[in-house]
């Protein structure tokens, strides 16, 4: 078999190659596994020992004419999403040797379609971080410049796609954890609407904000994956019963009818000039192509980051209480008192950023501070939601930056948590409001580092994201 050119492969291309007999899923999976083993970006925590047998099964389905568009396609899974029998560390020492006893609904649905799991990708501990420097297993290196971060918390999943270690991957997004690493690594990243994809089997960081979503090379591939994962799940009471439309059929329909809003608050001070210019150039091209472009206001945007960093740690402090080493995970000396057991397990098992957020969250929820902080943040959440709802009565989609700068160097912000938190300034609003958002690559800056724009649409309107994203992607290819 001739060496497969992994760089050019996407889902449609892989399926065509299967059909033409150029290679099988087993042969393709072997190529990816060999590349993962030789890779030096630290993007994988573990490999799926059953990957080749899963690929052989997929080949049999394809041969029998029982395949779907996803059958035989390899995929990498963020190590915060459970896959039965495989490691599920959450990027933390406390779960270093934990093996999942069941499979997340999103993954189960992809497996039903015949996808092949390559392994579990590195991530910030329990998804807490914007750089993937908070993983117990070490930072993930950016393939465009290995002195720089991959972005977080789904850094391993973004690098897996960017560095041809997997054609597609899954991440989770609580405040930008899919979109920001996608932007930093030059791939497509989708945060679905809250409730669009079941959270069952994803380690909860912030239950009211978390969403599982895909990282891919193209917008169409993100649509393929969401199509299979989306929909109500009886195991997740927060999953939506809203009908899932056929994203692929809708992809090229009525694209130019999409009214585009440009929020003033996202283009102020602090944004890198090259990113701003690149996005403004795209908006200009869309305007010339006949799209209606309108300047809009989201006045509560300036409070979104503050609200997020109150709501998120409050839920973190509650959700991470389950990691006590009693039923699973890191344990301690059995002769210790219960208090000393907890202190030992949690001080040794959690990293610095996780401890910081647990302490902050506990403080925010404590008597005397709940009303002053948490309650106020919840009120702000309502105002931010209303902001978006009002704007989406005037327009169908918003175009904004994903991040204020291109990817930064490893260690550059790790000693200044506030500077690190500011990396999420353009992404947290979508999570707070529960709307959907897409990060789309739009070229590179003078240092050859990826740049991206963000498209936002109202809840459950991923179809608009895909249509507009696919149109802009084609503009990029025509350059």
Active site residues: 78, 153, 177
- For 238, the 3-state DSSP assignment is coil
How far does CA 24 lie from the centroid of its chain?
A: 29
**Polymer length of the chain:** 479
Q: How far apart are the first and last CA of the chain?
A: 34
Count of C-beta atoms within a 10 Å radius of residue 151: 34
Contacts of 274 (CB under 8 A, 6+ apart): 406, 445, 446, 451
Question: Do the beta carbons of residue 101 and residue 92 sit within 8 Å?
Answer: no
Place of tokens 């099988």: 24
Whole-angstrom distance, CA of residue 281 vs CA of residue 472: 11
Q: For the purposes of burial, counting CB atoms within 10 Å of the CB of 469, is it exposed (0-12), middle (13-18) or buried (19 or more)? A: buried
195: nearest Cα among 161, 236, 151, 255:
236
SS3 150: coil
Residue 195: phi and psi, rounded to 5, are 95, -10
CA distance 28 to 191: 28
CB 76 within 8 A of CB 119: yes
**Residue 47 CB coordination number (10 Å):** 16
Q: In this structure, what DSSP letter does residue 126 have?
A: G
């Amino acid at each position: 078999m001739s060496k497969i050119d992994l760089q050019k492969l996407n889902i449609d291309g892989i399926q065509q190659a299967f059909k033409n007999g150029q290679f099988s899923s087993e042969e393709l999976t072997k190529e990816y596994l060999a590349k993962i083993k030789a890779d030096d970006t630290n993007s994988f925590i573990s490999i799926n020992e059953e990957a080749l047998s899963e690929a052989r099964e997929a080949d049999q389905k394809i041969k029998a004419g029982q395949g779907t568009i996803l059958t035989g396609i390899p995929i990498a899974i963020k190590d915060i999403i459970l896959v039965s029998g495989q490691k599920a560390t959450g990027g933390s020492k406390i779960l270093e040797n934990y093996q999942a006893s069941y499979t997340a609904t999103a993954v189960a649905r992809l497996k039903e379609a015949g996808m092949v799991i390559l392994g579990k990708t590195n991530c910030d501990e329990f998804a807490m971080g914007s750089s993937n420097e908070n993983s117990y297993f070490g930072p993930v290196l950016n393939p465009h410049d290995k002195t720089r971060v991959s972005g977080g918390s789904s850094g391993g999943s973004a690098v897996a796609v960017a560095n041809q270690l997997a054609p597609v991957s899954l991440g989770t997004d609580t405040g930008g954890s899919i979109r920001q690493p996608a932007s930093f690594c030059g791939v497509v990243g989708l945060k679905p609407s809250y409730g669009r994809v079941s959270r069952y089997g994803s380690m909860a960081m912030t239950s009211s904000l978390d969403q599982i979503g895909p990282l891919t090379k193209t917008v169409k591939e993100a649509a393929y994956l969401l199509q299979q994962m989306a929909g109500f799940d009886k195991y997740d009471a927060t999953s939506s019963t809203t009908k899932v439309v056929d994203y692929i059929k809708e992809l090229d329909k009525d694209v130019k009818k999409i009214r585009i809003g440009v929020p003033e608050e996202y283009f102020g001070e602090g944004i890198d000039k090259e990113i701003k210019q690149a996005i403004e150039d795209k908006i200009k091209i869309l305007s010339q192509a006949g799209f209606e472009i309108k300047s809009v206001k989201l006045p509560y945007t300036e409070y979104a980051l503050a609200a997020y960093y109150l709501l998120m740690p409050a839920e973190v402090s509650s959700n991470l209480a389950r990691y006590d080493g009693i039923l699973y995970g890191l344990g301690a000396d059995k002769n210790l008192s219960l208090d000393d057991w907890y202190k030992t397990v949690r001080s040794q098992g959690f990293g610095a950023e996780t401890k910081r957020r647990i302490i902050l969250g506990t403080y925010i929820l404590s008597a005397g501070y709940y009303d002053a902080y948490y309650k106020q943040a919840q009120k702000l959440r309502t105002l931010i939601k209303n902001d978006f709802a009002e704007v989406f009565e005037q327009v169908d989609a918003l175009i904004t930056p994903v991040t204020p700068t291109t990817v930064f160097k490893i260690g550059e912000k790790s000693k200044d948590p506030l500077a690190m938190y500011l990396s999420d300034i353009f992404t947290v609003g979508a999570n707070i409001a529960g709307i959907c958002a897409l990060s789309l690559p739009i070229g590179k800056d003078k240092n050859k580092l990826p740049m991206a724009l963000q498209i936002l649409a109202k809840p459950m309107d991923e179809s608009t994201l895909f249509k507009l994203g696919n149109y802009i992607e084609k503009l990029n290819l025509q350059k």
